[in-house]
């Protein structure tokens, strides 16, 4: 299937070149779309230069930092307009390893959503302090409880979507940002009857640049998941079943 790997960037000049090289090595037929939110460090300019010498690399420039969710939604529209069959989300900072990409691609042929999971058997994290593990595992536990979904790593950002499920979703209604965007999209896929698979990955904490995690991102996810859970209980919405690999 025609595949597009979406890499959103903001000040990732140190890590993006390595990530693009890694993706091109393990998935030489896939295309890459760098979505740069006006990085002042030259990330967008580097991506432009790479695109001029590599016909598998494309660049979308956005005027300012508008959030992860908005970047991905713009990239989804770009991909659907050009008839890509699979779109993959992947961070620029190296935390999503290129060598794990083939596992996601293999499952993408048969599942609407494939999640590269840290919290299923075989998945792991590297260089994370104990409080980050505690936050992530308990956030995902809360998502499972509130939304009635069996996904172990709903906040994960390394994932693929098949084009038919994206066309089925009301993407214009998605307003979530940060990690909440990933939860929102996974839940929408399951409510739409899509199949979901989780594959184990090794998540490596960035060693260059600055993390985008903030208190506002955590508060958004907590508030929205709680509200969606209330809607599920009192509004008749049900959880959905996951189809494992």
Phi and psi of 9, rounded to 5°?
-135, 145
> Into which CATH architecture does domain 3-235 fall?
Alpha-Beta Complex (3.90)
DSSP conformational letter for 200 = E
Cα distances (angstroms) measured from residue 20 to each of 25, 106, 176: 9, 20, 27
Could you tell me which residues come within 8 angstroms of residue 62 by beta carbon, excluding any fewer than 6 positions away?
A: 35, 36, 37, 38, 70, 71, 74
Of 90, 149, 155, the residue nearest 119 (C-alpha)? 155
- Domain regions of the chain by residue span: 3-235
- Residue 239's pLDDT band (cuts 50, 70, 90): very low
pTM for the whole structure: 0.90
Measured between alpha carbons, how far is 144 from 241 in angstroms, rounded to an integer?
Answer: 12
pLDDT single digits (tens) 134-146: 999 999 999 999 9
pLDDT single digits (tens) 56-111: 999 999 987 888 999 999 999 999 999 999 999 999 999 999 999 999 999 999 99
DSSP conformational letter for 158 = -
């Amino acid at each position: 299937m025609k595949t597009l790997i979406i890499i959103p960037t903001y000040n990732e000049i140190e890590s993006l070149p390595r990530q693009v090289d890694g993706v091109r090595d393990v998935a030489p037929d896939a295309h890459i779309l760098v979505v740069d939110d006006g990085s002042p460090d030259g990330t967008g300019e580097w991506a432009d230069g790479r695109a001029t010498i590599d016909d598998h690399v494309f660049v979308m420039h956005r005027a300012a930092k508008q959030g992860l969710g908005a970047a991905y939604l713009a990239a989804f529209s770009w991909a659907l307009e050009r008839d890509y069959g699979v779109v993959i989300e992947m961070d620029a900072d190296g935390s999503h390893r290129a060598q794990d990409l083939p596992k996601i691609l293999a499952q993408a042929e048969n599942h609407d959503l494939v999640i590269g999971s840290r919290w299923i058997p075989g998945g792991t994290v590297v260089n994370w302090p104990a409080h980050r593990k505690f936050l992530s595992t308990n956030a995902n536990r809360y998502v499972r409880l509130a939304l009635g979904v069996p996904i172990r790593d709903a906040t994960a950002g390394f994932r693929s979507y098949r084009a038919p499920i994206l066309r089925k979703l009301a993407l214009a209604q998605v307003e979530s940002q940060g990690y909440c965007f990933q939860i929102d999209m996974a839940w929408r896929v399951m409510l739409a009857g899509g199949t979901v698979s989780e594959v184990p990955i090794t998540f490596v904490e960035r060693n260059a640049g600055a993390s985008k995690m903030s208190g506002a991102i955590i508060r958004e996810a907590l508030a929205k998941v709680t509200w969606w859970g209330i809607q599920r209980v009192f509004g008749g919405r049900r959880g959905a079943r996951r189809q494992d690999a």
